[in-house]
């Protein structure tokens, strides 16, 4: 069952079937060629063995016939002219009959005579050498030097073993059969045989090729049929999958657009909530304006109004253009933004200021940053507010510190408190290698509170657009710390 499930996980495409088809055909051709070579080798070796055996049998039969004729003559017997004629005629019949074989090219007898090897290929010479006194021999054939030289190389092993020796030369067998008379070898019968059975092997190979061709054709037709059927099936499946993918893509786009709308709506609600608080401050300043605090109130109301304008602008864009966030045109003093937030936002809220306090340690040497100051406001305000909301302690102290590292050319901003700290689970890395605290819908607040899980997410997203890095950790004893690195 598990194996079938694993098989169903794999989807064969058209190219997979093509590769499978080519591989099967290639393997079949390779196997056919190997099998044909094996058959050729077997037939060749069988043919060579049979040719050698046939040639040796023929030479052995000829030698036996000669030995029987010679053995029939008693040694020392005085032969009449008629008997000599019959013996010579018997020898000539053996020579002539064997030469009628179409595969027999040469036949002779090699005999040692007076310390020489002579070649005899007719009955008269053979009779004279075997039955007459050497002094009465009229003709001795000393030609055929090639055969004699070959015999000299094999003479000793042949006469010692009294066994047939064969030598293959240019696809022709040179057969040497010991000629033994009354137990004594006197020479050899030489026969050159070119027995040819290629017509049999050619017929067998032709039949095999025909059978192989039919076999491969049937396999090829079967594979082609399977190939086209599978290809058609795969094409239908691909067409169906394509339609499903297109439908799925449409649904995904709808889902993404819907989620964007939800996120945008949530962000608008979040910024609207901040704008409501700032509008309250503006109204309060306008009600309390006097000639003495005119300039101070005007400066503060201008800042509030510009922040409201930024909030309204953010409501128009899901992803504002980068040049509206950071540009060389912006020359923002980070210390001034922090001081304004603390003095004119957090210390103006209706809650008793005795419940929390601020400790600012701002480095006057930090350089300006080319980021819209109200974008920085949108990023820092949720972090400071988060420290206030999750502290759950009395006499909360929030420390804000800026420092400039001239050697590495960056500014570090630290916001820390002495509260209970952040849940360690929120400081773990998520699947996308971001601390869970900075993910959307992850909150350090109580679950029942509205708009939880968005402040730190906004701070993280804005810091990325600004080109800054933000991190959060718990302090060693109590409280938490936000650390922002601002490259210059």
Based on the domain organization, do 189 and 336 belong to the same domain?
no
Stretch 34-61: mean pLDDT: 76
308 part of a folded domain: no
393 part of a folded domain: yes
203 part of a folded domain: no
238 part of a folded domain: no
Residues 432-488 have pLDDT tens digits of 888 888 887 665 554 444 444 577 888 888 899 899 999 999 998 888 999 999 998
Based on the domain organization, do 327 and 190 belong to the same domain?
no
Give the C-alpha separation, 271 to 251, whole Å.
30
Residues 158-174 have pLDDT tens digits of 777 778 887 777 777 78
Give the C-alpha separation, 28 to 14, whole Å.
21
| Closest to 338 in 3D by CA, of 360, 353, 354, 365 | 360
Mark which of 159, 175, 196 sits at the end of a domain.
196
Pair 427, 351: CB distance under 8 Å: no
97 part of a folded domain: yes
Q: Which residue range is the domain that position 70 belongs to?
A: 14-196
Mark which of 153, 172, 196 sits at the end of a domain.
196
- What is the reported pLDDT for 353? 54
Q: What is the pTM of this model?
A: 0.49
Alpha helices in 72-105 (DSSP H): 81-99
Q: How far is CA 4 from CA 16, 27, 149, 226, 308, in A?
A: 19, 27, 76, 21, 63
Stretch 85-93: mean pLDDT: 81
Share of the chain above pLDDT 70, in %: 83
Here the tokens at position 74 are: 């008693």
Based on the domain organization, do 344 and 479 belong to the same domain?
yes
- The chain-wide mean pLDDT, for the chain, equals 79
Q: Read off the CATH number of the domain in which 401 is found.
A: 3.30.565.10
Residues 319-365 have pLDDT tens digits of 778 888 888 899 999 999 999 999 888 888 644 456 788 999 999 99
186 part of a folded domain: yes
Mark which of 196, 219, 251 sits at the end of a domain.
196
301 part of a folded domain: no
Domains identified in the chain, total number: 2
Interaxial angle between packed helices 14-71 and 81-99, expressed in degrees from 0 to 180 and rounded to the nearest 10? 180
Residues 371-381 have pLDDT tens digits of 999 889 888 98
Based on the domain organization, do 27 and 171 belong to the same domain?
yes
254 part of a folded domain: no
- What is the reported pLDDT for 449? 42
Place of tokens 């849940």: 423
Q: Is the pLDDT of residue 226 over 80?
A: no
Q: Read off the CATH number of the domain in which 146 is found.
A: 3.30.450.20
């Amino acid at each position: 069952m598990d194996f079938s499930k694993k098989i169903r996980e794999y989807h064969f495409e058209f190219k997979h079937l093509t590769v499978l088809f080519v591989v099967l055909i290639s393997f079949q051709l390779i196997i056919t060629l190997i099998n044909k070579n094996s058959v050729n080798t077997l037939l060749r070796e069988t043919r060579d063995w049979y040719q050698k055996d046939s040639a040796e049998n023929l030479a052995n039969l000829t030698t036996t016939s000669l030995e029987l004729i010679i053995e029939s003559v008693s040694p020392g017997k005085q032969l009449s002219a008629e008997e000599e004629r019959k013996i010579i005629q018997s020898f000539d019949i053996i020579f002539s009959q064997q030469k009628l074989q179409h595969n027999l090219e040469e036949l002779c007898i090699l005999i040692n005579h007076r310390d020489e090897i002579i070649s005899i290929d007719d009955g008269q010479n053979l009779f004279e050498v075997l039955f007459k006194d050497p002094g009465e021999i009229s003709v001795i054939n000393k030609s055929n030097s090639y055969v004699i030289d070959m015999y000299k190389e094999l003479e000793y092993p042949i006469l010692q073993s009294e066994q047939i020796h064969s030598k293959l030369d240019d696809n022709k067998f040179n057969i040497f059969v010991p000629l033994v008379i009354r137990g004594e070898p006197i020479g050899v019968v030489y026969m050159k045989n070119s027995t040819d059975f290629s017509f049999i092997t050619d017929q067998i190979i032709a039949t095999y090729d025909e059978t192989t061709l039919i076999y491969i054709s049937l396999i090829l037709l079967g594979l082609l049929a399977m190939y086209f059927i599978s290809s058609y099936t795969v094409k239908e499946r691909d067409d169906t999958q394509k339609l499903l993918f297109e439908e799925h893509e449409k649904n995904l786009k709808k889902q993404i657009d819907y989620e964007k709308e939800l996120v945008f709506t949530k962000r608008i609600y979040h910024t609207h909530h901040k704008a409501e608080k700032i509008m309250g401050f503006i109204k309060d300043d306008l009600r309390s304006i006097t000639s003495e605090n005119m300039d101070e109130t005007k400066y503060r109301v201008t800042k509030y109004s510009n922040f409201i304008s930024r909030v309204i602008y953010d409501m128009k864009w899901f992803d504002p253009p980068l040049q509206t966030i950071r540009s060389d045109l912006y020359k923002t003093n980070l210390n001034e933004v922090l001081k304004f937030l603390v003095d004119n936002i957090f210390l103006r809220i209706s809650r008793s200021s005795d419940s929390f306090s601020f400790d600012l340690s701002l480095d006057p040497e930090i350089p300006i940053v080319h980021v819209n100051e109200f974008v920085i406001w949108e990023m820092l305000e949720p972090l400071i507010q988060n420290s206030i909301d999750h502290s759950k302690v009395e006499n909360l102290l929030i420390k804000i510190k800026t420092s400039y590292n001239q050697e590495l050319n960056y500014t570090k901003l630290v916001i820390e408190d002495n509260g209970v700290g952040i849940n360690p689970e929120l400081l773990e890395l998520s699947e996308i290698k971001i601390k869970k605290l900075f993910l959307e819908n992850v909150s350090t607040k109580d679950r029942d509170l509205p708009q939880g899980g968005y402040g730190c997410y906004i701070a993280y997203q804005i810091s990325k657009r600004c080109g800054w890095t933000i991190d959060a950790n718990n302090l060693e004893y109590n409280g938490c710390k936000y650390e922002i690195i601002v490259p210059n």
